[in-house]
Amino acid sequence: MLAVDGTCWDVADTQANEAAFGRPGSDRGSGRSAFPQVRMAALVEVGSHAVLDAELAGCRTGEVTLVSRLPRSTGPGQLVLADREFLGVPLWQAFAATGADLLWRVPANRVLPVTRQFRDGSWLSQICQSPRSVETIYAASPSARVAR
DSSP code of 74? -
What is the value of pTM for the model shown?
Answer: 0.76
Cβ-proximal residues to 68 (8 Å cutoff; 6+ apart), any chain: 90, 91, 94
pLDDT in tens, 82-100: 998 888 888 989 999 999 9
**In percent, how much of the chain has pLDDT > 70?**
85
Per-residue pLDDT averaged across 8-26, rounded?
Answer: 93
Question: Beta-carbon neighbour count of residue 110 at 10 Å?
Answer: 14
Dihedral, CA of residue 78, residue 79, residue 83 and residue 86, to nearest 10 = 50
The values of phi and psi at residue 21, to 5°, are -120, -20
Can you give the pLDDT at residue 31? Answer: 73
Per-residue pLDDT averaged across 1-27, rounded?
Answer: 93
Q: How confident is the model at residue 135 (pLDDT cuts 50, 70, 90)?
A: low
- The whole-angstrom separation of Cα 137 and Cα 103 is 10
